[in-house]
Amino acid sequence: MTQPFPFSAIVGQDDMKLAMTLTAIDPGIGGVLVFGDRGTGKSTAVRGLAALLPPITAVAGCPVNSATLTDVPDWAQVTHTELIEKPTPVIDLPLGATEDRVVGALDIEKALTQGLKAFEPGLLARANRGYLYIDEVNLLEDHLVDLLLDVAQSGQNVVEREGLSIRHAARFVLVGSGNPEEGELRPQLLDRFGLSVEVTSPKDIDTRVEVIRRRDSFDRDSATFMTTWHDADMALRDKIVSARAALPHVEADDAVLHDCARLCVALGSDGLRGELTLLRAARALAAFDGAPVVTRDQLRRVAPSALRHRLRRDPLDDAGSTTRVIRTLEEVLA
Amino acid sequence: MTDPDARWTRVSLAIACLALDPAALGGMWLRARVGPVRDRVMDGIETALLGHSLRRLHTNIADDALFGGIDLSATLATGQLTRTRGILRDPAVLILPMAERASAALAARLAGALDRPTGLALIALDEGAEADETLPTALAERLAIHIDLTDQPLSCAPELDMDRDALAAARDLLPRVTVSDNALCEMTKVAHRLGISSLRAPLQALAVARACAALAGETEVDEPDLVTAVELVLVPRATQVPESEAPEQTEPDLPDPDDTSAEDDTDPDEQPEFLPQEILLEAAKAMIPPDLLARLEAGRATRNAPSATGSGAAKKGNRRGRPMPSRPGKLDGQSRVDLVATLRAAAPWQPIRRAATGQHDRLHIRMSDIRVKQFQETSDRAIIFVVDASGSAALARLAEAKGAVELLLSQAYARRDHVALISFRGDQAEVLLPPTRSLVQTKRRLSGLPGGGGTPLAAGLKCALELAELTRGKGMTPSIALLTDGRANVDLSGAANRATAAADATLMARALRARGTPGLVIDMGNRPTRSLSDLAAQMGMPYLPLPRADSKALSAAVDTSLDGA
């Protein structure tokens, strides 16, 4: 059973599913940060989404999944020329992974056995054009998180070490998850994630029972279960693919830009990243809805995810950031 | 609590369930100190799991052992690339002794491996002595069966008799065991009412129930199986005692008009199957320990403390920091090889090795030549505030001291220092906040700090000393800031005696000095006290009367003293 749990069979957690779908439509939105309890299907969703996305075409044997032969980096010494289809990569970054493993390093085995100076690509290379999933991102060492976000934003991994000077494309969607009770993330890092969602275990008995029922039938007979959900998954895939095609044609007029700016000013979010992400996410949502222009309705739906982690934290305000965003949303877009 | 005999029966049953399908259950969390009781359990496990490969791990296991890597000695000796196969690649039952010492990183790797369909299971042997030494939550969550044998007497732990033929028969039966949708609903509801928010628990409970049914030779999970599953899986995870009110809403939609004809005659027998939720809850309630709340507190404390700090940065890392001379080492996937130093170490030997091997065209590098890079890392600083909240101090200037601490806190936050808070009053000291970076929590605890009672200075110092050692063990550098008026009048035993109180305080001060913990003493009395400045000298810490002016001046003073330390 190498098949992951189907994305559309995940019960509830609509916020999380929507945020992930939006990044699949426009990877430029930036990463998704999922904060919440254990056992709420965070990793299931990432794996499910990647399995649902259309396969990517890549040069066979290329360590960075290059789409065309001209994109293949020189150092990779790829001898194949044919293009193959492979599933969208989802790379797990385990806690405690060393910098070498992440960015890549001198290939010690080649250096020792053949005397060659070769580059051994790291996790970032493998995640190119796919997803990089970090569970418990809040426990990751700060210098690694800095590095990851830097690469995620620039889309390029630059390695300057041990006499190597190498750069390769590393465009991936960063998905971080964690439990805020176990440690917080620095505000500078929070800001770099495009969207953030909060997930909680469903409180409603019927939903919980449904989750268990589906998971149980998946575990017992995954083939039948996959067939049942195949159509729903494919429908979602088609929707994402057509949204990707429609994305460049979605218009956002000045009124919407004004709304974005007013929202961010009212919330006092730092910098302009808030506005930009909000607009991109709203545009992706409009494409997903099949709408030709971005409207307030889309803004309203993505604003909490796009802005809730960008607020100045007020230690004395116990009401969550989500409530503040929603309250401001009501006032500004009234 | 339940009696030891019943508990032992459950242990036996749990092992049998685990033996049927280790991978489906994820494994077992066995909390017991090393001793004959645990040995018997392990014997039972080994007998029951004969045929599965049992692999023993240790908590400092390197990545190349887990995931596979280059077998360097073989590679260098033959000149051919030789790889080792990692432990996590093949189906196996892993045994992790001293699991309470597993780092967050190891826990994450194992948890990831358990999530993959490789067929791995883990038996975590938790030897924690204190309530806050436990298995990392990421692992505990994935192991279905939790068993605590901390106070199991040996007399109630006879040797476990595992009938291997019966197990084999049950294993054949297992794939055919079915669970009714009702049982599934009930299990979910029970888990919810026991306050278990994770949805992994009910799934694991169902897997256990299935195994129980197979052991009983049945193809349908029935009520006793569910009860056992609740006892083994859900009860240890319970976070609340279920209320006894019984919502009857599940009943009306159950008798399906279409099916009644077929089921009418069997209805009396089926009845209990429809209502097991209450029975399951009863079983659960009988087993929930009375000190549930206390345990929860302990569990929460650990979740906050060690994980938030990472597993404690080693002082001499090999990943970041100021470079130090490289030293002999081996490739373990973690450390970085210093190629130049390695070649330099190998160079003088080349003529001899070439002569010895007869191969003249290649570089001869042996394991002993490998040099790894080392970096000196400055560890995080932890400031332990020890605040006197006794009546005399409260009368004097507790509020001012609080203000000063708050200022220091905001600076500590900016510098990413860890902060801990201890207060002492009445006849004891308590840790209000274990080392944390959370400014909000510290502020909240501090503002809620009540005053009044005697001054158990010695107890406060003792508590500070223990906490300092603990943080040092986690790789941080502790320093202590003691705020008191120095009028010690309660000794270590809690008795109000001025003379012994002072003697005890001196004793603790010497102990602190012996450990070399830096810090400073702030006198918050109305005028400087001679005895307190003597005490500060005993501890080798600077003494500072709380300045009259404002808390800003104090924080500046503290800052310079601590930075100098």
d(CA A272, CA A191): 11
* Chain B stretch 499-528, residues whose beta carbon is closer than 8 A to a beta carbon of chain A: none
What count of other Cβ atoms lies within 10 Å of the Cβ of residue B280? Answer: 27
Of B551, B557, B476, residue with least CA distance to B520:
B557
Instruction: Give B360-371 pLDDT, tens digit per residue.
Output: 777 888 888 888
* Chain A stretch 25-84, residues whose beta carbon is closer than 8 A to a beta carbon of chain B: 37-41, 43
What's B254's DSSP letter? S
Nearest chain A Cα distance for residue B310, angstroms: 6
Of B338, B416, B298, B183, residue with least CA distance to A161:
B338
- A205: contact with B, CB 8 A cutoff: yes
Active-site choice (A129, A171, A244, A273): A273
Q: Are B422 and B436 in contact (CB under 8 A)?
A: no
Among A272-276, A325-329, B132-136, B373-377, top mean pLDDT goes to: A272-276
The pLDDT value given to residue B281: 67
Task: Write the CB contacts of B545 (distance below 8 Å, at least 6 apart in sequence).
Answer: B522, B523, B525, B527, B528
- B301: contact with A, CB 8 A cutoff: no
Stronger pLDDT, A286 or B438, i.e. the higher one: A286
The pLDDT value given to residue B304: 33
Pairing of strands B477-484, B519-523: parallel
Give Dmax over CA atoms of chain B in angstroms: 94
The pLDDT value given to residue B286: 61
* Averaged pLDDT of chain A: 81
Q: What is the dihedral of CA A287, A291, A295, A296, to 10 degrees?
A: -80
Query: Could you tell me how many residues make up chain B?
Result: 565
The pLDDT value given to residue B283: 63
Radius of gyration for the alpha carbons in chain A, expressed in angstroms and rounded = 21
pLDDT band at B136 (very low <50, low <70, confident <90, very high): confident
* Chain B stretch 60-79, residues whose beta carbon is closer than 8 A to a beta carbon of chain A: 70, 75-76, 79
Pairing of strands B68-70, B83-85: antiparallel
Instruction: Give B204-216 pLDDT, tens digit per residue.
Output: 888 888 888 888 8
Domains of chain B: 1-161 (3.40.50.300), 163-239+268-308 (1.10.8.80), 316-376 (no CATH), 381-564 (3.40.50.410)
The minimal CB distance from A216 to the residues B80, B105, B206 is found for B206
Q: The domain A7-199 belongs to what CATH superfamily?
A: P-loop containing nucleotide triphosphate hydrolases (3.40.50.300)
Does B331 sit within 8 Å of A215, measured CB to CB? no
Does B181 sit within 8 Å of A2, measured CB to CB? no
As a whole-number percent, the residues of chain B with pLDDT over 70 amount to: 76
Q: Is A273 a catalytic site residue?
A: yes
The pLDDT value given to residue B242: 64
Residue in the structure block whose two tokens are 């990044």: A23
Question: Exposure of B269 by Cβ count < 10 A (0-12 exposed, 13-18 middle, 19+ buried)?
Answer: exposed
The pLDDT value given to residue A187: 67
What count of other Cβ atoms lies within 10 Å of the Cβ of residue B519? Answer: 24
Does B117 sit within 8 Å of A1, measured CB to CB? yes
What count of other Cβ atoms lies within 10 Å of the Cβ of residue A255? Answer: 11
End-to-end CA distance of chain A: 50
Instruction: Give A166-207 pLDDT, tens digit per residue.
Output: 888 888 888 888 876 666 676 667 777 888 888 888 888 888
* Averaged pLDDT of chain B: 75
d(CA A208, CA B191): 10
The pLDDT value given to residue B413: 65
* Chain B stretch 539-558, residues whose beta carbon is closer than 8 A to a beta carbon of chain A: none
Residue of B nearest to A136 (CA): B108
Q: Is the pLDDT of residue B176 over 80?
A: yes
pLDDT band at B332 (very low <50, low <70, confident <90, very high): low
Averaged pLDDT, A103-118: 72
Identify the three-state secondary structure at position B480: strand
Give the residue extent of every domain in chain A: 7-199, 248-332
The minimal CB distance from A115 to the residues B181, B189, B363 is found for B363
Nearest chain A Cα distance for residue B20, angstroms: 16
Stronger pLDDT, B526 or B270, i.e. the higher one: B526
Q: Is the pLDDT of residue B258 over 70?
A: no
Instruction: Give A228-251 pLDDT, tens digit per residue.
Output: 888 888 898 899 999 989 888 888
The minimal CB distance from A112 to the residues B106, B198, B365 is found for B365
Residue of A nearest to B331 (CA): A108
At B96, phi and psi to the nearest 5? Answer: -115, 100
Identify how many contiguous H helices and E strands chain B contains and give both numbers: 24, 16
Averaged pLDDT, B108-122: 82
Of A21, A299, A1, A7, residue with least CA distance to A175:
A21
* Chain A stretch 285-304, residues whose beta carbon is closer than 8 A to a beta carbon of chain B: none
The pLDDT value given to residue A285: 92
Task: Dump the DSSP string for A255-318.
Answer: HHHHHHHHHHHHHT-SSSHHHHHHHHHHHHHHHHHT-SB--HHHHHHHHHHHHTTSSPP-TT--
Averaged pLDDT, B465-476: 81
What's A17's DSSP letter? H
The minimal CB distance from A2 to the residues B117, B191, B437 is found for B117
Q: Which residues pair with A169 in a beta bridge?
A: A156
pLDDT band at B430 (very low <50, low <70, confident <90, very high): confident
The pLDDT value given to residue B270: 36
Q: Are A48 and A7 in contact (CB under 8 A)?
A: yes
- B115: contact with A, CB 8 A cutoff: yes
At A325, phi and psi to the nearest 5? Answer: -60, -45
Size of interface A-B (CB pairs under 8 A): 123
d(CA A97, CA A102): 7
User: Percentage helix, strand, coil, to 5, in chain A?
Assistant: 50, 15, 35
Radius of gyration for the alpha carbons in chain B, expressed in angstroms and rounded = 30
pLDDT band at B179 (very low <50, low <70, confident <90, very high): confident
**Angle at CA of residue B125, ends B61 and B34, nearest 5°:** 110
Averaged pLDDT, B380-408: 76
Nearest chain B Cα distance for residue A45, angstroms: 14
Which range (A79-83, A211-215, A260-264, B423-427) has the least confidence? A79-83
Q: The domain A248-332 belongs to what CATH superfamily?
A: Magnesium chelatase subunit I, C-Terminal domain (1.10.8.80)
Question: Exposure of A282 by Cβ count < 10 A (0-12 exposed, 13-18 middle, 19+ buried)?
Answer: buried
The minimal CB distance from A213 to the residues B103, B184, B337 is found for B184
Stronger pLDDT, B250 or A302, i.e. the higher one: A302
The minimal CB distance from B76 to the residues A112, A141, A181 is found for A112
- A96: contact with B, CB 8 A cutoff: yes
Does B112 sit within 8 Å of A94, measured CB to CB? yes
Task: Write the CB contacts of A222 (distance below 8 Å, at least 6 apart in sequence).
Answer: A1, A3
Stronger pLDDT, B99 or B448, i.e. the higher one: B99
The minimal CB distance from A182 to the residues B70, B307, B334 is found for B307
Stronger pLDDT, B323 or B58, i.e. the higher one: B58
Does A111 sit within 8 Å of B339, measured CB to CB? yes
Q: Is the pLDDT of residue B308 over 60?
A: no
Nearest chain A Cα distance for residue B111, angstroms: 10
Does B439 sit within 8 Å of A38, measured CB to CB? no
Pairing of strands A131-134, A119-121: unpaired
Instruction: Give B188-234 pLDDT, tens digit per residue.
Output: 888 888 888 788 888 888 888 888 888 888 888 888 888 888 888 88
Q: Is the pLDDT of residue B9 over 70?
A: yes
Pairing of strands A131-134, B92-96: unpaired
Which range (B408-417, B489-498, B526-535) has the least confidence? B408-417
Does A181 sit within 8 Å of B304, measured CB to CB? yes
Q: Is the pLDDT of residue A3 over 70?
A: yes
Q: Which residues of A touch B369 (CB under 8 A)?
A: none
Which range (A91-100, B40-49, B384-393) has the least confidence? A91-100
pLDDT band at B290 (very low <50, low <70, confident <90, very high): low
Stronger pLDDT, A231 or B451, i.e. the higher one: A231
The pLDDT value given to residue A317: 46
Q: Is the pLDDT of residue B404 over 80?
A: no
- A250: contact with B, CB 8 A cutoff: no
Nearest chain A Cα distance for residue B562, angstroms: 25
Task: Dump the DSSP string for B307-340.
Answer: HHTTT---SEESSSSEEEEEEE----SSSPB-HH
Show the beta-strand stretches assigned E in B156-284: none
Residue of B nearest to A2 (CA): B117
Instruction: Give B502-551 pLDDT, tens digit per residue.
Output: 888 888 888 888 777 788 888 877 777 788 888 888 888 888 776 654 56
Where on the phi/psi map is residue A22: left (φ > 0), alpha (ψ -120 to 50), or beta? Answer: alpha
Task: Write the CB contacts of B241 (distance below 8 Å, at least 6 apart in sequence).
Answer: B285, B288, B292
Q: Is the pLDDT of residue B265 over 60?
A: no
In order of A275, A316, B220, B277, B362, the CA distances from A215 in angstroms are 39, 41, 19, 21, 57
Q: Is the pLDDT of residue B312 over 60?
A: no
d(CA B512, CA B469): 10
What's B232's DSSP letter? I
Q: Is the pLDDT of residue B147 over 70?
A: yes
Pairing of strands B418-425, B381-388: parallel
Q: What is the pTM of this model?
A: 0.65
What count of other Cβ atoms lies within 10 Å of the Cβ of residue B219? Answer: 12
End-to-end CA distance of chain B: 51
Does B75 sit within 8 Å of A109, measured CB to CB? yes
Q: Are A274 and A307 in contact (CB under 8 A)?
A: yes
pLDDT band at B133 (very low <50, low <70, confident <90, very high): confident
Identify the three-state secondary structure at position B84: strand
The pLDDT value given to residue B532: 85
Q: Is the pLDDT of residue B298 over 60?
A: no
Q: Which residues of B touch A41 (CB under 8 A)?
A: 199
Which range (A106-110, B14-18, B426-430) has the least confidence? A106-110
A7-199 matches A248-332 in fold: no
Tokens of B258: 């279409």
Nearest chain B Cα distance for residue A242, angstroms: 33
